[in-house]
Amino acid sequence: MLPGPEDVLLAIEVADTTLRFDSTVKAQLYAKHGIPELWVIDVEGQALLRCLEPSRKGYAKVTQHRSPQIVAARLLPNARIEICDLFGS
């Protein structure tokens, strides 16, 4: 049996030239299907967008994180990233 949305605890999108699409259209699809957390890595802006609290209309909570912050996934506390490690700053 293939995994479904209920099997996903964290989705990660890397957006170089697709930030607007990834943070709107794709984020709404992830939320609609109940993915509890989405990280969109904004390569150009050197930031991580963290989306929480999914609903049929999108994520209710979206926060932006930059170096030197550390972000840990809500349902996977060992999945942590130092923002500076993403961009070498």
Tokens of 77: 């506390």
Return d(Cα 13, Cα 18) in angstroms, integer: 10
CATH 3.90.1570.10 fits 5-87, yes or no: yes
Instruction: Enumerate the domain spans of the chain.
Output: 5-87
pLDDT in tens, 25-45: 999 999 999 999 999 999 999
The structure's pTM equals 0.93
pLDDT in tens, 45-87: 999 999 999 999 999 999 999 999 999 999 998 999 999 999 8
